[in-house]
Amino acid sequence: MFAAVKVSSQVSQNLGHFVERMRGNPEVPPKTVWVDEKNFHFTLKFFGEVSDPMIQNLENALAGAASIPPFEVTLRSIGAFPALSHPRVIWAGVEDPSGGFARLADAIEKATVDAGFAAADKPFSPHLTLARLNHTARPGLPKVLERSGDTFFGAMAVDHLALVKSTLTAKGPVYEDLRRWSLK
């Protein structure tokens, strides 16, 4: 399970077009695992398996964390973890001039730790995962990513928080919103 913000339909569509162009690029390894357009989201905190008795505690904590006002973000830029020169994860970057994502992530962290969940093992860094590479990238991929670096995907309102259950299948993960809260 994880706490997430889903991406608007227009931004998802723009990201999907980018993914399709990348799939057709000969510098992109054929076994690159691309995120399906319907699954684009921002993970704010990953919880792993949560026992049934703890789900209500988690829902209560997230409901409290959703008490921040909605905010606007812009998705622009392409990057990679750990680095463009050695991509293992390809991501879309976020411009968040209001600091809304940091406030929301902090509220989630505080509320869930207070509710008995483990603290995050690394600081929140807003990004949207587009692909994972489980093998060595082709030599030209870093240049392709660098040329795509300033791609604009659109602006969107962040006006909700979701608790999402992930089920792994042979065809990839299936995400199900267990609860969704409007930001206030």
Q: Which residues are catalytic?
A: 41, 127
Whether 78 and 90 have beta carbons less than 8 Å apart is answered as yes
Burial bucket for residue 15 (CB in 10 Å: 0-12, 13-18, 19+): buried
Whether 58 and 115 have beta carbons less than 8 Å apart is answered as yes
Q: In what order do the strands lie in the sheet with 41-46?
A: 41-46, 2-6, 160-169, 172-182
Give me 99's structure tokens.
């600091």
